[in-house]
Copies of this chain bind each other. A is one copy, B any other.
Amino acid sequence: MPDPAKLALNQITTKRWTLAQAIDGCTRHGVRGISVWRDKLAEMGVPAAARALKDAGLAVTGLCRGGMFTYADEKGRAASRDDNARAVDEAAAIGARCLVLVVGGLAPGSKDIVGAREQVKEGIAAMLERAKAARVPLAIEPLHPMQAPDRACVNTLDQALDLCDALDPSRSGAIGVAVDVYHVWWDPNLERAIHRAGPSRLLGYHLCDWLVPTRDTAFDRGMMGDGVIDLPRIRGLMESAGYDGMHEVELFSAEDWWKRDPDEVMRILKERYATCC
């Protein structure tokens, strides 16, 4: 059984709540960590959010999200750079343990996935110094291959780790990966890749489940225990590779969990965390 003190909420799971409500919800349900989304952070205001998170004693496991590095033209590139600079500053302001990077898919009208991946590398390189100066580790999150065209063209842990090795060969801690079971559970190379990452590169661990059938390629994640992922196995791999951080529950679920009362979602995710993870 996982340590209840390691359970964290990714705020998207309780999408109906504001950030203030999510902070209160975590406190009320005894959840000690939260991963914050930037739209909700903007709504509350960064200084007020930073205070509220601190007052609640919550670990901020991540800020979602930077990235979206792929672009069709120079204007797109400049906009991506500006936005990522702001994301680093926001992550620093709320004491986030990492800034999660969802790297972007194909630029509009493009079929050039090789070129998109070059843009991603260049985009991360361009923000790395600022992130280091702000002491905000960058967590590249590989997304499931079915999300390659529209969300992220980094699709395996090994691919993300190749980027880390290229950009930070000394394993300084400035860059690593977020391991989301939904995106990586199928990977035949999962065990080796998690160990390759090791404690210096493992910056986050995200939980949910893979439903059969899956009715939507983005917004049909299941609650832990409702799908086919062997969650205890993957936690075991993370722990044996030296990961010591929190385990955050991140559900995108337009037709089910997002429609429910967030307090009910919190009760159920705590129970499932204790019994299925």
Q: List the interface of chain A (C-beta within 8 A of B).
A: 106, 110-114, 117, 144-146, 148-150, 153-156, 158-159, 162, 185-188, 210, 212-214, 217, 228-230, 233
Nearest-CB distance from A102 to chain B (Å)?
15
Evaluate contact between A212 and B113: CB separation under 8 angstroms.
Answer: no
Chain B residue numbers with a CB within 8 Å of A214 are 146, 217
- A110 neighbours in B (Cβ, 8 Å): 228
CA distance A145 to B210 in the complex (A): 12
Q: Which residue of B lies closest to A214 (CB)?
A: B217
Q: Give the docked Cα–Cα distance between A110 and B188 (Å).
A: 17
Given A230-B111, A230-B112, also A217-B186 (CB < 8 A): no
Q: Which of B153, B162, B186, B228 is the one whose CB lies under 8 Å from A145?
A: B186
Residues of B within 8 A of A158 (CB): 188
Is B228 within 8 A of A217, CB to CB?
no
Residue from B111, B150, B159, B210 in contact with A188 in the complex, judged by beta carbons closer than 8 Å: B159
Per the bound structure, the CA–CA distance linking A112 and B144 in Å amounts to 19
User: How far is the CB of A216 from the nearest CB of chain B, in Å?
Assistant: 8
A146 pairs with B145, CB closer than 8 A: yes
Bound together, the chains give a CA A212 to CA B150 distance in angstroms of 8
Please tell me which one of the listed residues B113, B156, B188 contacts residue A230 in the complex, with CB atoms under 8 A apart: B113
Q: What residue of chain B has the Cβ atom nearest to residue A111's Cβ?
A: B230
A106 in complex: contacting residue of B149, B156, B187, B228, CB < 8 Å: B228
Per CB-CB distance, the 9 closest pairs between chain A and chain B, nearest first, are: A148-B186, A145-B186, A111-B230, A159-B188, A146-B146, A149-B228, A149-B212, A145-B145, A111-B228
Measured in the bound complex, the distance between the Cα atoms of B148 and A129 in whole Å is 39
| Distance A201 CA – B147 CA, assembled complex (angstroms) | 29
CB distance from A211 to the nearest CB of B (A): 9
Once the chains are docked, how many angstroms separate the CA of A212 from the CA of B110? 12
Contacts of A146 in B (CB 8 A): 144-146, 214, 217
A117 touches B228 (CB 8 A): no
